[in-house]
Amino acid sequence: MKNRSLSFWLFLTPVILGLGIVVVIPFIYGFFYSFTDWNGITANNFIGFENYINLFQEDEFMNSIWFTIKFAVVTVLLLNVFGLGLALLVTRNMKTNNLMRTIFFMPNLIGGLILGFIWQFIFVSVFGDVAGITGIEGLNGWLSTTNTGFWGLVILTAWQMAGYIMIIYIAYLENVPKELIEASKIDGANAMQRFKNVIFPLVAPAFTVSMFLTLSMSFKIYDQNLSLTNGGPFNSTQMVAMEIVRTAFSDNQMAYAQSKAVIFFLIVAVIALTQVYYNKKREVDV
């Protein structure tokens, strides 16, 4: 706190300026516009909470929120399980460690849009061909139903992000003091007990970070959604971000879309903050 001198603020200026211009000011503007009938060109009337009242009565928006929540729950679970699993795998003393880490991390370097198209090809064409050869009915017609669309998105996201989460877990796993592991070995703990009682509590901070990341990320997903299913069939795999973009740019209801975005922001903020609060509390206890 003491070093908040002139130079401190001077160094901070570019960041504050940047953040202010591209995040804070537009956010305030947007919040304001959500109470008007702004159509993207002019805002004529101040209409109070009308937009907010309407959006809670709109099935499509509610469906997209519900779909996003389901998606977030499943992906957060899967991502953390896979992430931790992969991290445990590549922190064992094996020669291929670095290679494996690179391979697992790689999908994360491909843009979401391209990944979506790649997986679309896999789900539609490759799955179809495999089904034709092996006769497994379940591989036919992927992405043409709501369920397969949902699982398609989950698989894509898990595959893309697991490597990233893995990196976070690796960082914490490698910081677990060797002597603690050794001590537990001497005390006669088996591998399972060691993981549960020693390693797991020590990587708890990693959970806070990855839970926050995965949660906010799976809520905000857009590009993968766009290229993989484009909301189809019949807009049933449309996530909130996409619903908002559609309202704004296809339906041309800018202010209404803005009010949806505000609600969306509130939901994500509340969930993410609560989650960080509880995880932090647990960390302190450990």
* Residues 155, 117: Cα–Cα separation, whole Å: 14
Residue 189 Cβ, how far from another protein at the closest point, in Å? 40
* Choice from 40, 85, 132, 177 touching another protein (CB under 8 A): 40
Chain centre to alpha carbon of residue 174: 25
Phi then psi for residue 67, to 5 deg, are: -60, -40
For 234-253, the three-class secondary structure string (H helix, E strand, C coil) is CCCCCCHHHHHHHHHHCCCC
- Residue 39 vs 197, nearer CB to another protein: 39
Residues 91, 174 contacting (CB under 8 angstroms): yes
Size of the site for another protein (CB under 8 A): 28
- Residue 104 vs 150, nearer CB to another protein: 150
Residues 30, 43 contacting (CB under 8 angstroms): no
- Residue 147 vs 274, nearer CB to another protein: 147
* Choice from 14, 135, 138, 188 touching another protein (CB under 8 A): 14
* Choice from 44, 144, 175, 190 touching another protein (CB under 8 A): 144
Span interacting with another protein, options 36-44, 196-204, 265-273, 278-286, rule CB under 8 A: 36-44
* Residues 139, 167: Cα–Cα separation, whole Å: 32
* Residues 109, 219: Cα–Cα separation, whole Å: 20
Residue 107 Cβ, how far from another protein at the closest point, in Å? 22
* Choice from 102, 145, 193, 197 touching another protein (CB under 8 A): 145
- Residue 104 vs 119, nearer CB to another protein: 119
Residues in CB range of 224: below 8 A, 6 or more apart = 112, 113, 115, 116, 153, 156, 157, 160
11 binds another protein per the rule CB under 8 A: yes
Give the interface with another protein as residue ranges (CB under 8 A): 11, 13-15, 18, 39-41, 123-124, 140-145, 230, 232-235, 246, 248-252, 254
